[in-house]
Structure 1
Amino acid sequence: MAAAETDTTASGGLAGEMEVEAYRRLFPLAFLERHLRESVRPDARRLAEARPTTVALGAVSSAHGSALIRLGDTAMLASIKLEVMSPPTETPDEGSVAVEFHMPPICSPLVRPGRPAEMAPVLSKALEDVLMSSGMINLKELCLISGKASWLAYLDVYCLNADGSLFDAALISAVAAFTHLEIPLVSVGDDGRVFTVGGNEGKTKYELVNREKRKLTLKDIPFALTCALHKDNVLADPTAEEESIIETFVTVALDSSDRLVSIQKPGGGVTSMATIKTCITLAKERRHKLQEILMDSVEAMEVDQTG
């Protein structure tokens, strides 16, 4: 008798779960609003709560700098490769940075094989704008020989899994990759050509331009938080499901001194100044947390290297 009751309870529970899932798929907005009335979200987060975030530095051994990050189920891989170039005549003592964001079909069912993702160039531009306008990178540090040679840093960000807040995740991965970046040794050949030095740094017959490998001096590091706005609710770090239902979003980027770098609002309804201020307040709290996560990942890498 007890076994029969257990089977009935189990089947009832399964049927109940199937009904909830069917309701979620058929009426996604109503499903979301039922949760919002209780100040909770479908994934059990509070409205202002971002998803767990992890940063792993040095994910690509062949890159000069790299990082793998997870923001909930959103995953990004950023890698930086350095190449020697001739600097432009208008900025002879500066290097440059080229940014490209990639969305392969594996990252989302919305990305079709053989067709470029529409969001990719938009995110590439937004990412480059925030990185450069923040002043995080001193381009003079990428100069090798004024007027003759400088570094071109190719930053490629690959979306491995797209589950919302793609810009936020891409920016974290890019910042982490530049944090991990190590400038290699270079020499000048007899023909004046500048080239990177391989494994036998101390045995090169050419004079080294830089005597030791070094890190970039990063300052005013930017971090971002995207908020989904629905009626009077502000949802921090929306998932792909929430993004598919809600029409209005605000992305706030702040630097490590809490200075405003950018506010993006791609379409959607009219947003009040009070709501924008709420988004900025949440972005400040998120910035502090992300900076702690990044610092912890740097410390963990240093422990691994010394240990």
Structure 2
Amino acid sequence: MSLDNHEELQKFIDLSEHYRTYLDEHDNSRPDGRSFSQMRPVQILDNFLQHSYGSSMIRFGNTTVICSITGQLTKPSLKSLRSGFIQTVVLLPRTQAWSTYGRRQQIINENLTLSQNLLDIIYKSKLINLEDLCIEEGKWVWCLQIDFQCLNNDGNLFDSCLFALNVALRHTSFPTVKVDPDTQKPLVYTKDLQNLEYNKEQQPLCCTIAVYDSAQEYQYLIDPTLEEETIAKSLLHYVLLKNDQICLIHKTSGAPFSPEKFHHCYSLARDYILQLRSKLNQQN
């Protein structure tokens, strides 16, 4: 990297000060050229993994995520004989997860938190009914495994994963399973596929907002890059359903927010998610 340019030198020495100076001096403009409310280009590739029941690859700018949905037959819980299971796992690139810069444990914790948040959203939004995963009550159910493999993390991973999940679910189909009446073992018919039943009307999508404390007031950046997330005062995650109902609000550390600021950020999130829904519906 050349450090001849003063702006590049400031960014190299103090990234936080570089962003603070830039945002104070440029009205509604970010270092990458976008306005505060402008998202990066979104690219979608669906149903491309041969050995998964449903899949998608999503790019938000340089952030690339693969969502893979598979299933495993298992016995139901004694507490609920008609309910299947769902597991979610988020994996960051190996080069980032095993960094030697002291962030390994922090990244692992962020992975676990994001995995749990995605699972909570699936349950809270009732996106997938666990009883629809039942093959035969008290005998066999599906355990749905939803894996998110981040090939490149340049910020806004929450939005990317949830968007990828919505795309993958549209093309998820399972083999037909019947229980042998004599052996009570499942018989799997891989050539006879049936679509996974899920609640298409919910469509939970996330908007991540990076909050900066500038010279004037708080500034809010939609679809933040990894650099913007790293030096933001706090991050806000709004998950909205198709009717604009709030499914989840999560705020990282930072100064307390007034109800007025939360309402303002909700308006920003609603407009952003409306654009995401438009891109998602173009896949029909």
Short-chain TM bin: 0.7 to 0.9
Change (3 A) 1:112 1:19: closer
Match of 2:186 in 1: 194
User: What letter is aligned with 1:66?
Assistant: S
Paired with 1:283 and 1:54, the residues of 2 have a C-alpha distance of 20
Match of 2:138 in 1: 147
Answering whether residue 280 of structure 2 is matched by residue 291 of structure 1, we say no
Answering whether residue 252 of structure 2 is matched by residue 266 of structure 1, we say yes
Shift of 1:252: 0.6
Change (3 A) 1:17 1:283: farther
Deviations 1:168-199 (A, max 9, x none): 11111222222221122123234111132134
Match of 1:79 in 2: 68
Which protein is richer in helix relative to its size?
A: 1
Q: Secondary structure at the match of 1:121?
A: helix
Question: 1:100-119 residue pairs with structure 2 within 5 A?
Answer: 100-107=89-96, 110=99, 117-119=108-110
Deviations 1:34-53 (A, max 9, x none): 33232100111111122221
Answering whether residue 8 of structure 2 is matched by residue 25 of structure 1, we say no
Change (3 A) 1:73 1:286: same
Answering whether residue 204 of structure 2 is matched by residue 222 of structure 1, we say yes
Answering whether residue 111 of structure 2 is matched by residue 120 of structure 1, we say yes
Paired with 1:49 and 1:125, the residues of 2 have a C-alpha distance of 28
The partner residue of 1:170 within 161, 179, 198 is 161
Paired with 2:79 and 2:223, the residues of 1 have a C-alpha distance of 40
Q: Secondary structure at the match of 1:258?
A: coil
Match of 2:21 in 1: 34
Paired with 2:101 and 2:133, the residues of 1 have a C-alpha distance of 38
Paired with 2:245 and 2:91, the residues of 1 have a C-alpha distance of 28
Question: 1:179-190 residue pairs with structure 2 within 5 A?
Answer: 179-189=170-180, 190=182
Quick check: 2:3–2:9 contact (8 Å CA) kept in 1?
Answer: no
Quick check: 1:256–1:287 contact (8 Å CA) kept in 2?
Answer: no
Match of 1:69 in 2: 58
TM-score after normalising by structure 1? 0.82
Paired with 1:104 and 1:24, the residues of 2 have a C-alpha distance of 24
Quick check: 1:106–1:160 contact (8 Å CA) kept in 2?
Answer: no
TM-score after normalising by structure 2? 0.88
Which has the higher mean CA deviation after the structures are superposed, 49-58 or 235-244? 49-58
Paired with 1:272 and 1:39, the residues of 2 have a C-alpha distance of 22
Gap runs ≥5 in structure 2: none
Q: Superposition RMSD on alpha carbons, in Å?
A: 2.3
Quick check: 2:52–2:70 contact (8 Å CA) kept in 1?
Answer: yes
Paired with 1:105 and 1:217, the residues of 2 have a C-alpha distance of 32
Paired with 1:109 and 1:162, the residues of 2 have a C-alpha distance of 14
Paired with 1:275 and 1:251, the residues of 2 have a C-alpha distance of 14
Change (3 A) 1:134 1:15: closer
Paired with 1:92 and 1:146, the residues of 2 have a C-alpha distance of 6
Gap runs ≥5 in structure 1: 1-13, 202-211, 300-307
Change (3 A) 1:294 1:23: same
Quick check: 1:103–1:111 contact (8 Å CA) kept in 2?
Answer: no
Q: Secondary structure at the match of 1:186?
A: strand
Q: Secondary structure at the match of 1:197?
A: strand
Match of 1:247 in 2: 233
Same amino acid, percent of matched pairs: 26
Answering whether residue 49 of structure 2 is matched by residue 57 of structure 1, we say no
Quick check: 2:93–2:153 contact (8 Å CA) kept in 1?
Answer: no
Shift of 1:245: 1.4
Paired with 2:184 and 2:242, the residues of 1 have a C-alpha distance of 40
Which protein is richer in strand relative to its size?
A: 2
Match of 1:44 in 2: 33
Which of 1 and 2 has greater Rg?
Answer: 1
Paired with 1:132 and 1:17, the residues of 2 have a C-alpha distance of 52
Paired with 1:172 and 1:75, the residues of 2 have a C-alpha distance of 12
Q: Secondary structure at the match of 2:208?
A: strand
Which has the higher mean CA deviation after the structures are superposed, 102-111 or 237-246? 102-111
